[in-house]
């Protein structure tokens, strides 16, 4: 890893121009002008409404813009970047095309008493900037090449940037996809083989995720096979996580870690779905409050999730076995979320309740390990403040979501945290211990209320703000420092 460089980067000086660019593009995009009275009279046959364009997806390589072969569907100025024919006669070679896309996200963040006071307070906050650009080239119905560049910059943070804050320029994704098996009516193959650097995200992101909220996302080097049969899907993969280094094109696979597994999902009814999975992971140097050692961990579990316009439920259970040094691993996790929506009521409220229990180690003097440890969890596991992660946690959070106006969503929730095992400590989101288990015998960690507001200004532009407060409980107070945390963040996203 390169030595720390000054945080300021000239690219950050362009932030005001990014906003101006968004305004200019926004003025050029919109629905067609309303017809004049003469045009209305001339039209005899009713027109068929054009379907709205699809939303951008968390995994950008899963977006499909083949529908833009129809010129009538190209209702937006940037649609021309989503379907660029690679042959002179696109009607005879419709599957040869190029798709371009990207993202720019300036992000302001401010902590007071980060990690309960163990990190120096920066009263003025600091800026992060994420820039990404990708290209997907489809060479017929069976071959695709996907490449994505990333840049993560930071300035103004007291104590310097954190590991996922900076990656000046590197390859975020770069893989070849080969389709196998008979093509369907949409000229899609039922089996896809992807080889190279790629992002992974499964289920609710509790075990494997792209780490969206931090400035630099998580990627993996390896291979994956995707089998699609109707609405059922099975993924098999073997990968290594990619290190986040701060220089230019210096990221490589972390040879001290490996991840492999199977993830299957299928519908049981139009609104009920089942996920089943097995995940294996290896780490040469796993760290827990009981010590550090080489680890091989096997995670098996299932997720049952239900979606309708008024009710959403999600129930997931995971059990882990394996070895930690000379000891055995026996860990578990349970999680559920339920949301009841009232779309006909003013402000369209939705009430929810999240519940979770993740096991902790029973005895640090025993070589066996009972601490639940997800291999690559989402970056904001318990809200944006990120004070504590999933190992050794019991908790629940009531939620309230309001929609005051189209495109504007306000989400409020409040977490209550306890330690599952009094012999184990507290861990951060990446899974490293931040508080030892003893000598305190207290169980309660604290209370964390948070409010997030997201405004989708346009198809490509969104503005988000988040405020959170962590009021320390008895365990944190008995293992000082124990200052209450204030967290404020706001970010603007241009994604096309």
Q: What is the pLDDT of residues 291-301, one digit of tens each?
A: 999 999 999 99
338 belongs to a structural domain: yes
Token output for 348: 């369209």
Q: Over the stretch 351-390, which tens digit does the pLDDT of each residue have?
A: 999 999 999 999 999 999 999 999 999 988 999 999 999 9
47 belongs to a structural domain: no
We report the CATH number of the domain holding residue 76 as 2.40.160.100
2 belongs to a structural domain: no
Q: Beta strand 143-155 with 220-229: parallel, antiparallel or unpaired?
A: unpaired
Per the CB < 8 A criterion, the answer to whether 257 and 238 are in contact is no
The predicted pLDDT at position 44 comes to 35
Tell the residue number behind the tokens 């949301």, with chain if given.
339
CA atoms of 97 and 287, how far apart (whole Å): 47
Buried b (16+ CB within 10 A) or exposed e, 189-216: beebebebbbbbbbbebbbbbbbebbbb
Tally of domains within the chain: 1
Residue 420 pLDDT level (bands cut at 50, 70, 90): very high
The single-letter DSSP state of residue 248 is: B
Token output for 187: 């000229």
CA-to-CA dists, residue 288 to 145, 275, 434, angstroms? 40, 29, 10
How many CA atoms lie less than 13 Å away from 420 in the CB half-sphere? 24
Q: Picking from 120-124, 227-231, 306-310, 432-436, which range would have the lowest pLDDT averaged per residue?
A: 120-124
Residue 50 pLDDT level (bands cut at 50, 70, 90): low
The predicted pLDDT at position 11 comes to 41
Percent of the chain with pLDDT over 70: 89
pLDDT greater than 60 at residue 36: no
The predicted pLDDT at position 99 comes to 97
241 belongs to a structural domain: yes
The single-letter DSSP state of residue 285 is: E
Buried b (16+ CB within 10 A) or exposed e, 307-334: eeeeebbbebebebebbbeebebebbbb
48 belongs to a structural domain: no
46 belongs to a structural domain: no
Q: State the residue range of the domain holding 412.
A: 10-30+59-495
User: Which of the two residues, 265 and 31, has the higher pLDDT score?
Assistant: 265
pLDDT greater than 70 at residue 10: no
44 belongs to a structural domain: no
CA atoms of 240 and 234, how far apart (whole Å): 20
pLDDT greater than 50 at residue 118: yes
CA atoms of 203 and 263, how far apart (whole Å): 9
Give mean pLDDT, residues 324-336.
Answer: 98
Using CA atoms of 170, 493, 204, 277 in order, give the dihedral in degrees to the nearest 10.
-30
Helix (H, G, I), strand (E, B) or coil at 60: helix
Residue 22 pLDDT level (bands cut at 50, 70, 90): very low
Instruction: Provide the total of helices (H) and of strands (E) in the chain, helices listed first.
Output: 3, 21
The single-letter DSSP state of residue 441 is: -
C-alpha gyration radius of the chain? 24
CA atoms of 111 and 161, how far apart (whole Å): 13
Look at the alpha carbons of 338, 340, 341, 345 in this order and tell me if their dihedral is positive or negative: negative
40 belongs to a structural domain: no
Residue 1 pLDDT level (bands cut at 50, 70, 90): very low
Cβ contacts of residue 240 below 8 Å, gap of 6+? 220, 221, 222, 253, 254, 255, 257, 258, 259
The predicted pLDDT at position 49 comes to 52
CA atoms of 152 and 129, how far apart (whole Å): 6
* Max avg pLDDT among 68-77, 148-157, 429-438: 148-157
């Amino acid at each position: 890893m390169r030595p720390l460089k000054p945080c300021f980067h000239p690219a950050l000086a362009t932030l005001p121009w990014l906003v101006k660019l968004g305004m200019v593009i926004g003025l050029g995009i919109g629905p067609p002008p309303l017809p004049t009275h003469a045009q209305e009279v001339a039209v005899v046959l009713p027109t068929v409404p054009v379907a709205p364009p699809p939303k951008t997806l968390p995994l950008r390589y899963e977006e499909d813009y083949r529908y833009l072969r129809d010129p009538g569907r190209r209702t937006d100025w940037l649609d021309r970047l989503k379907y660029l024919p690679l042959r002179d006669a696109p009607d005879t070679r419709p599957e040869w095309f190029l798709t371009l896309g990207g993202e720019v996200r300036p992000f302001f963040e401010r902590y007071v008493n980060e990690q309960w006071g163990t990190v120096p307070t920066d009263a003025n906050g600091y800026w992060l900037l994420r820039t990404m650009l990708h290209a997907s080239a489809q060479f017929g119905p069976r071959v695709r090449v996907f490449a994505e560049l990333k840049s993560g910059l930071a300035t103004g943070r007291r104590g310097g940037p954190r590991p996922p804050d900076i990656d000046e320029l590197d390859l975020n994704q770069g893989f070849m996809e080969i389709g196998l098996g008979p093509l369907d009516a949409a000229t899609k193959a039922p089996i896809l083989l992807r080889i190279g650097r790629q992002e992974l995200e499964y289920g609710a992101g509790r075990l494997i995720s792209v780490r969206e909220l931090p400035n630099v996302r998580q990627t993996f080097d390896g291979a994956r096979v995707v089998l699609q049969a109707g609405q059922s899907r099975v993924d098999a993969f073997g990968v290594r996580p990619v290190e986040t280094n701060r220089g230019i094109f210096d990221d490589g696979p972390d040879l001290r870690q490996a991840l492999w597994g199977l993830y299957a999902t299928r519908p049981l009814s139009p609104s009920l779905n089942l996920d089943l999975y097995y995940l294996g992971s290896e780490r040469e140097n796993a760290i827990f409050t009981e010590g550090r050692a080489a680890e091989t961990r096997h995670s098996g579990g299932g997720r049952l999730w239900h979606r309708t316009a008024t009710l959403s439920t999600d129930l997931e259970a995971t059990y882990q076995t394996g070895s930690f040094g000379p000891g055995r691993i026996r860990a578990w996790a349970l999680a559920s979320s339920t949301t009841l929506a009232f779309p006909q009521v003013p402000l369209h409220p939705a009430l929810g309740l999240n519940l979770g229990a993740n096991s902790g180690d029973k005895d640090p003097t025993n070589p066996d390990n009972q601490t639940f440890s997800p291999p690559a969890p989402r970056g904001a596991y318990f809200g944006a403040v990120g004070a504590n992660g999933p190992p050794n946690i019991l908790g629940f959070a009531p939620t309230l979501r309001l929609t005051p106006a189209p495109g504007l969503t306000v989400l409020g929730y409040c977490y209550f945290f306890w330690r599952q095992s009094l012999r184990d400590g507290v861990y951060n989101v990446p899974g490293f211990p931040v508080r030892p288990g003893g000598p305190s015998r207290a169980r309660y960690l604290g209370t964390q209320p948070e409010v997030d507001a997201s405004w989708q200004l346009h198809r490509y532009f969104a503005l988000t703000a988040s405020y959170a407060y962590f009021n320390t409980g008895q365990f944190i107070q008995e293992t000082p420092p124990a200052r209450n945390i204030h967290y404020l963040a706001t970010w603007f996203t241009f994604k096309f």
